[in-house]
Amino acid sequence: MIKVSVLGATGYAGIELVRLLTGHPAVAVTRLVSKSYAGQPLARVYPGFKNVLDITLEPLDVESAAADSDVIFTALPHGASKEIIPLLLGKNARVIDFSGDYRYNSAEVYEKWYGQPHSSPELLKQSVYGLCELHREEIARARLVGNPGCYTTCSILALAPLLAKKMIRADGVIIDAKSGVTGAGRTAALDYSFCECTENTRAYKIAAHRHTSEIEQELSLLAGEEIVLSFTPHLIPLKRGILATCYADLTAPRTAGEVLAVFKEYYKDEYFIRVYDEGDLPETNHVAGSNFVDIGLAVDARLNRVIVVACLDNIIKGAAGQAVQSMNIMFGLPETTGIGNAAFYL
């Protein structure tokens, strides 16, 4: 059994991770750390876990966590991870971090988007961007994985085949993404109150969302040239789900059938990526509750533009599920272990 610790177990990404881990046949949950609720039973904070995982939340003890865990997931509030991770890596534990701090290859790009110097740039050399379908071999060897942001996996996978196969222009890429409210995390802010979110939708951080830099990093690698794109996030009134609508100009006229054939070939060995047939489009409830990324597309023949629609569950494949998938890779398990289930649908 893989001994697992979760630091930041009571935020939304953290508790979703705990939920997945309790259903994972090869995991022994060793320690759940929560600064806010240290000393309390998990079931006092999240009654749904009573009888399933009767464990007491602990305060952070870096020494113990590093010493007796095979893998440590860090799902801490922004800024907290980078203080702790260098310490956690001291022993044998491998670390999968949910923050943005170890997603980058370049400390300069990080600094530009996060507004501060990177606190441990040397770790950036060894950290691996945890998008499993693209960095499988590196993840397998990694001691530190930067688990991707919730919008980024969706956007990157939606466009990867097109850039890898040079079927779209490098300029003119636009990603318009719609996310559920769990993406904001477990928060008491007025903006995320029920009455402010239900029956409402809004765009935010236009041309300013940090995930833009991650998406550009990965797509530039795939394209072999620098990609600069527009990324616009929106909040929609549901809990789980991201739908990204991605626009790009084709380099040559193609039908939707032709483009889909390229996607199906590119992803043919990927369990978690399902490419739809021509005429079909994904909906978030096809993936919510699962680790799948569903992709459909259409071609606007008048403009020779491809419009790709990709959906995933922002707290599973957009966070906790992908983290478990990385763990499975690291420990040589079938990638679907514990996360291969169908969507909730209802």
Interaction mask 159-198, its own copies, x per CB under 8 A: -------------x-x-x-x-xxx---xxxxx-xxxxxxx
User: Among residues 85 and 339, whose Cβ is nearest to its own copies?
Assistant: 339
User: Among residues 1 and 303, whose Cβ is nearest to its own copies?
Assistant: 303
Residue 339 corresponds to which amino acid? I
Spot the catalytic one: 132, 150, 154, 311.
150
Q: What is the DSSP letter of 205?
A: S
- In the list 12, 37, 73, 151, the residue contacting its own copies (rule: CB under 8 A) is 12
Q: Are strands 94-97 and 174-179 parallel, antiparallel or unpaired?
A: unpaired
Interaction mask 211-250, its own copies, x per CB under 8 A: -----------------xxx-x-x-xxxxxx-x-x-x---
CA dihedral sign of residues 140, 146, 147, 149: negative
Q: Choose the binding region for its own copies from 72-80, 101-109, 135-143, 278-286 (rule: CB under 8 A).
A: 278-286
Find the radius of gyration of the CA atoms of the chain. 20
User: Among residues 128 and 229, whose Cβ is nearest to its own copies?
Assistant: 229
Cα–Cα distance for residue pair 346/341, rounded to 1 Å: 14
User: Among residues 12 and 102, whose Cβ is nearest to its own copies?
Assistant: 12
Cα–Cα distance for residue pair 191/127, rounded to 1 Å: 34
User: Among residues 165 and 169, whose Cβ is nearest to its own copies?
Assistant: 169
- Scan for tokens 């609508």, then name that residue: 245
Cα–Cα distance for residue pair 217/225, rounded to 1 Å: 10
- In the list 287, 293, 323, 333, the residue contacting its own copies (rule: CB under 8 A) is 287
What H or E segment, with its residue span, contains residue 20?
Answer: helix 12-22
Structure tokens at 177: 């993404």
Interaction mask 317-346, its own copies, x per CB under 8 A: -----------------------xxxxxxx
Residue 95 beta carbon to its own copies: minimum distance, rounded to whole angstroms: 24
Q: Choose the binding region for its own copies from 81-89, 101-109, 257-265, 294-302 (rule: CB under 8 A).
A: 294-302
Question: Which residues, 6+ apart, have CB-to-CB distance to 22 below 8 Å?
Answer: 29, 49, 52, 53
User: Among residues 93 and 170, whose Cβ is nearest to its own copies?
Assistant: 170
Question: Which residues, 6+ apart, have CB-to-CB distance to 188 below 8 Å?
Answer: none
- In the list 87, 90, 301, 334, the residue contacting its own copies (rule: CB under 8 A) is 301
Cα–Cα distance for residue pair 313/272, rounded to 1 Å: 12
- Scan for tokens 């599920």, then name that residue: 321
Cα–Cα distance for residue pair 222/78, rounded to 1 Å: 28
Cα–Cα distance for residue pair 332/326, rounded to 1 Å: 10
- In the list 130, 146, 161, 282, the residue contacting its own copies (rule: CB under 8 A) is 282
Question: Which residues, 6+ apart, have CB-to-CB distance to 228 below 8 Å?
Answer: 171, 216
Q: Site size for its own copies, by CB under 8 A?
A: 90
- In the list 262, 264, 298, 331, the residue contacting its own copies (rule: CB under 8 A) is 298
Near its own copies in 100-129, by CB under 8 A: none
Residue 208 beta carbon to its own copies: minimum distance, rounded to whole angstroms: 8
Backbone angles phi, psi at 216, to 5 degrees: -65, -40
User: Among residues 38 and 43, whose Cβ is nearest to its own copies?
Assistant: 43
- Scan for tokens 């966590």, then name that residue: 65
Residue 258 interacts with its own copies (CB under 8 A): yes or no = no
- In the list 102, 104, 129, 292, the residue contacting its own copies (rule: CB under 8 A) is 292
Near its own copies in 28-57, by CB under 8 A: 46-53
Q: Choose the binding region for its own copies from 61-69, 126-134, 142-150, 267-275 (rule: CB under 8 A).
A: 267-275
Instruction: Mark whether 150 is an active-site residue.
Output: yes
Catalytic sites, residue numbers:
150
